[in-house]
């Protein structure tokens, strides 16, 4: 590996359960509780919020992975087994919501690599990112129904939008798990690769996303999902406003000129 491609640390105050490095304009954040199957405790969730809200300005995309055999086995149940009153439990869930919203509506396109267990809160975390790459070892589940609890990290919204309410009900009511192939067919992931190839694919996708203009990426990350959720009439107006802003950016002007003068590549079929 040449010097310009070596990973460098990112100077953020993160807990030991997270490791962050960068490769040029792409950051790589790792869940680092392999001994706990990367279960998500409060310290880790708050660390994710810190990471995604305090990224260096020159970072253009993020790759999220899990160390060890699993991406994440979900919520560390010791966090909700304590003697908390109802309001404290509501605020605990809202803390997860705040942290995952910082991921979904942050500055950067985020690509997640999924392998091994991707269950409960781990699937909720993955659903907050924008692109998901599954290795064949990945499997998905929502065991909250069998634990006597309910989704609390945004899954009732984000996962249901990915795969539909009937799938979420099936996973929660029966304890069913989906294989990587089944989850891909249901809509959890956009890419499916052989074991051990996920990071390579994620870095490739992150590099493509990082090469877009900042204005276009802002539109895709922030405007597009809100347009989808709005009334069509309001959505179309928002689309027109966002399109105008994007087209007037200096980067867009230069790129359109390059295309018209045949200096930019045409769209070709890609995998």
Packing angle between helix 250-260 and helix 232-247, nearest 10 degrees?
80
Dihedral, CA of residue 145, residue 146, residue 151 and residue 157, to nearest 10: -40
Instruction: Report the C-alpha gap between 122 and 3 in whole angstroms.
Output: 34
Q: Is 88 a catalytic residue?
A: no
Answer whether 242's CB lies under 8 Å from 219's CB: yes
In 3-state terms, what secondary structure has residue 193? Answer: strand
Q: Is 144 a catalytic residue?
A: yes
Catalytic pick among 49, 79, 124, 135? 124
CA distances from 23 to 2, 29, 131, 186, 201 (A): 11, 11, 19, 32, 15
Catalytic pick among 49, 79, 135, 144? 144
Instruction: Report the C-alpha gap between 4 and 25 in whole angstroms.
Output: 11
List active site positions.
Answer: 124, 144
């Amino acid at each position: 590996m040449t010097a310009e491609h070596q990973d460098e640390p990112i100077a953020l105050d993160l807990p030991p359960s997270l490791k962050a490095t960068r490769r040029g304009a792409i950051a790589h954040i790792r869940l680092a509780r392999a001994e706990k199957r990367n279960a998500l405790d409060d310290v880790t969730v708050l660390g994710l919020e810190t990471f995604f809200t305090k990224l260096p300005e020159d970072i253009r995309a993020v790759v999220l992975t899990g160390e060890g055999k699993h991406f994440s086995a979900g919520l560390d149940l010791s966090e909700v087994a304590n003697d908390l009153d109802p309001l404290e439990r509501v605020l605990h869930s809202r803390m997860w919501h705040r942290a995952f919203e910082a991921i979904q509506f942050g500055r950067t396109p985020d690509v997640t690599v999924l392998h091994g267990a991707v269950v409960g809160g781990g699937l909720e975390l993955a659903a907050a990112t924008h692109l998901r790459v599954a290795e064949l070892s990945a499997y998905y589940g929502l065991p909250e129904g069998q634990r006597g609890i309910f989704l609390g990290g945004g899954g009732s919204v984000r996962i249901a939008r990915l795969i539909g309410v009937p799938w979420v009900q099936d996973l929660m009511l029966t304890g069913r798990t989906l294989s990587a192939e089944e989850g891909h067919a249901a809509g959890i992931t956009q890419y499916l690769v052989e074991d051990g190839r996920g990071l390579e694919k994620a870095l490739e996708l992150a590099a493509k996303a990082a090469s877009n203009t900042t204005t276009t990426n802002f539109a895709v990350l922030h405007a597009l999902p809100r347009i989808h959720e709005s009334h069509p009439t309001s959505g179309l107006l928002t689309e027109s406003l966002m399109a105008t802003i994007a087209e007037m950016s200096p980067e867009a002007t230069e790129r359109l000129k390059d295309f018209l003068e045949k200096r930019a590549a045409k769209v070709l079929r890609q995998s």
